[in-house]
Chain A
Amino acid sequence: MTQTIYTDLLCIGAGLAGERAAIEAAEAGFRVIALSLVPARRSHSSAAQGGMQAALGNCIKGRGDCPDVHFQDTVKGSDWGCDQQVARMFVENAPRAIRQTAFWGVPWNRVQPGRSFFYQGGEKKEKEEPEESRGLITARNFGGTAKWRACYCSDGTGHAVLYTMDNKAVQVGVEVHDRVEALSFIHEGENCLGVVARDMKNGELRVYLSKATLIASGGFGRIYRASTNAVINEGSAQAAALDTGVVPLGNMEAVQFHPTGLVPTDILITEGCRGDGGTLLDVNEHRFMPDYEPEKAELASRDVVARRMTEHIRKGFGVKSSYGDHLWLDIRHLGEEHLKTKLREVHQICVDFLGRDPARDLIPVRPTQHYSMGGVRTDKNGHAYGLSGLFAAGEASCWDLHGFNRLGGNSLAETVVAGMLVGENIVEFLKEREISFDTGIVDDFVKRERERIKDIVSGDGRENVYQVRNEMQSVLMDRVGIFRNEKDLKLAVEKLQDIHARSRQVGLRSSGRGASPELSLALRLPGMVRLALCVTCGALARTESRGSHAREDYPARNDRDWLVRTLAFWPEGGERPILEYEPNTSVVELPPGDRGYGGAQVISADKDGS
């Protein structure tokens, strides 16, 4: 007998996006349950460090900022890959969303009037904040932005916002069922009815039936070997959505590499370091970024900085180490006090994991997988394509605010803005939604999962789940990384198809009883490989370079042929995704043009080629 739980809204994920939407529905009087792989406050939102973009324009270096400027930065940052209608909605609502978190208790850093020093590209400068701005939410500099716009709480911004959000969720009675993983979406015709889930405390299956279901499960960075992502970011909810056969994943080839992952642990070192004046140095301790990007230097967009760093390492200017070549991040000049107040997480990470004091020592860094711009494709209301009653928000979604490159600080902002807006839409949807549940259909979905588990636990599979996973991660790392080309991508597709077959031939070496971690991964792995194939096939098909998708054999951004979004569907029993395309934006407020950094060629969409 499988336990069945009924709710109005079911959130898959209890990080910032999921909880923000959950709060909206709970406050409107609906029952909300959030499923989470970990206790809500351990969600990966907590690892966001540097800041959240909202055009408040309070601090002196943010003076003149407004949603229009934020909009332009976001569209340029996306390399004209985003949906401009969504970007417009986002920038207009970000100030309200951030002020609401302040009202709920987030201790945002505030403007302090008077003169103070700051660093820009290693140079000491002075600014003066006026008395009239005293106590308003302040901001720091981030990459790819015209103004200082990243609001922050030291460098524990995600943590502080998540704790406040979960406080609010507890207050309004959002139930969190932690250590529960959604295995598949129950759907009939065009309706999503809920999920079959596995309780990871005891291994038991459970059914959740819901009027509306929201995917807010974060990114899938762990399909790569080296990722800043938490170990839970394996994309199981996206894979389950893909497995419905009717819900497409958008722009899966758009994968962000963060310039400053720590070597060797791949832990994130916030962009706030460079925003606050940190510089990148090579083996000769030469500051090389201005050589490539005279205008923006270290503060070009992440895709550009990550590419320039890789280029520089390839020229032989990397620092050799037993973990491969890396570069240096230098924040020594910011001074001990700044590091211990505004960058204290970074300070602690360096001390704890490297035994290095960033006030005296250089920090070893290199570009590391960081963010998934792609995800469950939704319309501008957050409603998933293909199934009524299924929504998505945050990193798990392709809403599509970020296009082919997300700006630093826009993801944390997206979680609360999309959580709020999609939450409002879900409330409207729930008010009208009446649905009946066919128990026969539900039982079929449960039976399918039960049989999968039985096959893995007592079938005749021989493959080692960790070995197969590691091979998948290596293929992506080695062939679907920062720079891509046809030869490597074709080989990667071939290898991943083989790995996909093997991922379904896993045999356990443990009993699989209770909360078996080996069984959990075995259940997840085939879906992870399917995500990997969506990334790789999308990258192979896209014969241009746009944002984070850089093809060595097609170096130009091709606005003539590729102002489109990839939609990846998985046919039942298929070996690779079916790719379709749609225009990337219905509204063009800012026509494609020069980003102002990156120096890439552009094949114009205009017929005369101008």
Chain B
Amino acid sequence: MVRMLNLEIFRYNPRDPDSKPRMQSFYLDETENMTLFIALNRIREEQDPSLQFDFCCRAGICGSCAMVINGRPELACHTKTADMPEQITLMPLPGFELIGDLSVDSGKWFRGMNERVESWVHTDKQFDPDASEERMENHVAEEIYELDRCIECGCCIAACATARMREDFLGAVALNRIARFIIDPRDERSPEDYFEVVGTDQGIFGCMGLLACEDVCPKNIPLQDQLGYLRRKMGTHALKRMIPGTESRKMKKRKRDA
């Protein structure tokens, strides 16, 4: 029995003066192994060529196609229609500027985030082209990679209650990024440096611990662990700052203690 899917899709083209925000209904016969990538492209090609949405790798790797699927932020490309009821409601990801329909401007948001947390290795060393690489234990490389797997899809931001209430909240993606640099021995930032970036209500102390971020992360990154770790680390650091004489910019990083 072939199912007839009913997709309710948010429509609005801010560049078209005649366009008003609304929901539009599309019907589509389901095919074997159908994903929302296939479904949305068929709707665009067969029914409404003005429909805007974003896909790139369509393999769950690039993070382009996050949207709210039946109330839950998720990557559309790896969402199989067979796992969904016949009624599928698609909304653009909240928290990001709308470009049109299901397409949002995640590029601008994430560039800003990367600049805010200074998402790069801070070091005074110079690269020596003639030297062998610095050694690193494989388990350290794997721990960094585990957090580096984030694809900046924005699901964690869309699902975050704090991010919905305050626009300047960094969100799990940024806090995870900081955690990734804290465990990277190549990054020479001190706890105080990290504290300046995330030791605020826009950072780790804004997190209410609801953990929807971890629930919706399509890459299953252990965000809860990172948030807990950062809260303890930054909390301890805040205390030390309050006690005269113990505050020190040169305080050793966790990785050097270990």
Asked if A515 meets B52 with Cβ closer than 8 Å, knowing A112-B138, A202-B15, the reply is yes
**A135 and B78 contacting across the interface, CB-CB below 8 Å:** no
**B15 and A513 contacting across the interface, CB-CB below 8 Å:** yes
Is A232's beta carbon under 8 Å from chain B? yes
> How many angstroms from the CA of A39 to the CA of B33 in the assembled complex?
29
Is B107's beta carbon under 8 Å from chain A? yes
Interface size class of B (residues with CB under 8 A): 35 or more
Q: How far is the CB of B29 from chain A (nearest CB, A)?
A: 15
**A47 and B33 contacting across the interface, CB-CB below 8 Å:** no
Task: Encode contact with A along B98-121: 1 for CB under 8 Å, 0 otherwise.
Answer: 011001011110110011001111
Chain A residues near B14 (CB, 8 Å)?
514
Is B45's beta carbon under 8 Å from chain A? yes
Is B28's beta carbon under 8 Å from chain A? no
> How many angstroms from the CA of A111 to the CA of B142 in the assembled complex?
12
CB nearest to B99 among chain A residues: A201
Q: How far is the CB of A471 from chain B (nearest CB, A)?
A: 13
**B133 and A102 contacting across the interface, CB-CB below 8 Å:** yes
Asked if A105 meets B186 with Cβ closer than 8 Å, knowing A138-B138, A232-B56, A511-B50, the reply is yes
Chain B residues near A163 (CB, 8 Å)?
148
Asked if A518 meets B135 with Cβ closer than 8 Å, knowing A47-B62, A167-B114, the reply is no
Q: How far is the CB of A218 from chain B (nearest CB, A)?
A: 11
**A348 and B60 contacting across the interface, CB-CB below 8 Å:** yes
> How many angstroms from the CA of A60 to the CA of B51 in the assembled complex?
54
Q: How far is the CB of B144 from chain A (nearest CB, A)?
A: 4
Give the residue of A103, A179, A322, A353 whose beta carbon is less than 8 angstroms from that of B133: A103
Chain B residues near A514 (CB, 8 Å)?
13-16, 100
Chain A residues near B119 (CB, 8 Å)?
167, 170
Count of chain A to chain B residue pairs whose CB atoms are closer than 8 Å in the complex: 198
Chain A residues near B78 (CB, 8 Å)?
352-353
Chain A residues near B144 (CB, 8 Å)?
107
Chain B residues near A515 (CB, 8 Å)?
13, 15, 52, 99-100, 103
Is A124's beta carbon under 8 Å from chain B? no
> How many angstroms from the CA of A203 to the CA of B54 in the assembled complex?
16
Chain B residues near A42 (CB, 8 Å)?
56-57, 62-64, 107
Chain A residues near B16 (CB, 8 Å)?
511, 513-514
Is B49's beta carbon under 8 Å from chain A? yes
List which A120-173 residues lie within 8 A (CB) of chain B: 134-138, 153-154, 156, 159-160, 163, 166-168, 170-171
**A230 and B58 contacting across the interface, CB-CB below 8 Å:** yes
Task: Encode contact with B along A263-289: 1 for CB under 8 Å, 0 otherwise.
Answer: 011011000000000000000000000
Chain A residues near B137 (CB, 8 Å)?
110, 134-135
Is B27's beta carbon under 8 Å from chain A? no
**A170 and B111 contacting across the interface, CB-CB below 8 Å:** yes
**A267 and B58 contacting across the interface, CB-CB below 8 Å:** yes
**B57 and A109 contacting across the interface, CB-CB below 8 Å:** no
> How many angstroms from the CA of A163 to the CA of B107 in the assembled complex?
13
> How many angstroms from the CA of A514 to the CA of B19 in the assembled complex?
11
Give the residue of B105, B108, B133 whose beta carbon is less than 8 angstroms from that of A136: B133
Q: How far is the CB of A204 from chain B (nearest CB, A)?
A: 9
Give the residue of B60, B111, B118, B134 whose beta carbon is less than 8 angstroms from that of A352: B60
Asked if A231 meets B56 with Cβ closer than 8 Å, knowing A39-B110, A202-B15, A514-B16, the reply is yes
Give the residue of A178, A516, A518 whose beta carbon is less than 8 angstroms from that of B107: A178
Is B257's beta carbon under 8 Å from chain A? no
> How many angstroms from the CA of A265 to the CA of B100 in the assembled complex?
27
**B45 and A107 contacting across the interface, CB-CB below 8 Å:** no
The interface on chain A, measured as residues whose beta carbon lies within 8 A of the other chain's beta carbons, has a size of 72
Give the residue of A134, A176, A267, A517 whose beta carbon is less than 8 angstroms from that of B135: A134
Asked if A322 meets B115 with Cβ closer than 8 Å, knowing A110-B137, A138-B138, the reply is no
Chain B residues near A102 (CB, 8 Å)?
133-134
List which A312-348 residues lie within 8 A (CB) of chain B: 322, 341, 345, 348
Is A31's beta carbon under 8 Å from chain B? no
Task: Encode contact with A along B116-140: 1 for CB under 8 Å, 0 otherwise.
Answer: 0011110001010101111111100
Q: How far is the CB of A197 from chain B (nearest CB, A)?
A: 15
**A39 and B148 contacting across the interface, CB-CB below 8 Å:** no
Give the one of B14, B62, B105 with max A CB within 10 A: B62
**B62 and A46 contacting across the interface, CB-CB below 8 Å:** yes
Chain A residues near B125 (CB, 8 Å)?
103
**A46 and B107 contacting across the interface, CB-CB below 8 Å:** no
**A41 and B110 contacting across the interface, CB-CB below 8 Å:** yes
Give the residue of A267, A354, A508 whose beta carbon is less than 8 angstroms from that of B59: A267
Q: How far is the CB of B185 from chain A (nearest CB, A)?
A: 11
Asked if A345 meets B114 with Cβ closer than 8 Å, knowing A107-B142, A322-B32, the reply is no
CB nearest to A470 among chain B residues: B45
CB nearest to A167 among chain B residues: B120
Is A349's beta carbon under 8 Å from chain B? yes
Asked if A159 meets B110 with Cβ closer than 8 Å, knowing A112-B138, A341-B142, A518-B49, the reply is no
Is B55's beta carbon under 8 Å from chain A? yes
> How many angstroms from the CA of A378 to the CA of B32 in the assembled complex?
45
Q: How far is the CB of B220 from chain A (nearest CB, A)?
A: 8
Q: How far is the CB of B20 from chain A (nearest CB, A)?
A: 14
Is A509's beta carbon under 8 Å from chain B? yes
Asked if A168 meets B120 with Cβ closer than 8 Å, knowing A153-B145, A178-B107, A517-B49, the reply is yes
Q: How far is the CB of A159 from chain B (nearest CB, A)?
A: 6
> How many angstroms from the CA of A17 to the CA of B110 in the assembled complex?
21
CB nearest to A172 among chain B residues: B120
Is A496's beta carbon under 8 Å from chain B? no
Task: Encode contact with A along B174-187: 1 for CB under 8 Å, 0 otherwise.
Answer: 00000000001011
Is A493's beta carbon under 8 Å from chain B? no
Give the residue of A38, A40, A513 whose beta carbon is less than 8 angstroms from that of B13: A513
Other A-B contacts than A231-B55, A265-B59, A514-B16, 17 sampled, CB-CB below 8 A, are A100-B129, A103-B134, A105-B184, A107-B184, A110-B135, A112-B138, A134-B135, A136-B133, A160-B145, A163-B148, A170-B114, A230-B57, A265-B35, A466-B44, A514-B100, A516-B50, A518-B44
18 A-B residue pairs with Cβ-Cβ distance under 8 Å, sorted by A, are A41-B62, A43-B62, A103-B127, A105-B186, A107-B148, A138-B138, A154-B142, A159-B61, A159-B149, A167-B119, A167-B121, A178-B107, A178-B108, A179-B107, A352-B80, A353-B59, A515-B99, A517-B52
What are the nearest 5 A-B pairs in CB distance? A514-B15, A135-B135, A39-B107, A510-B50, A518-B49
Measuring CB to CB, which residues of chain A are less than 8 angstroms from any residue of chain B?
Answer: 38-44, 46-47, 96, 99-100, 102-105, 107-112, 134-138, 153-154, 156, 159-160, 163, 166-168, 170-171, 176, 178-179, 201-203, 230-232, 264-265, 267-268, 322, 341, 345, 348-349, 352-355, 465-466, 508-511, 513-518
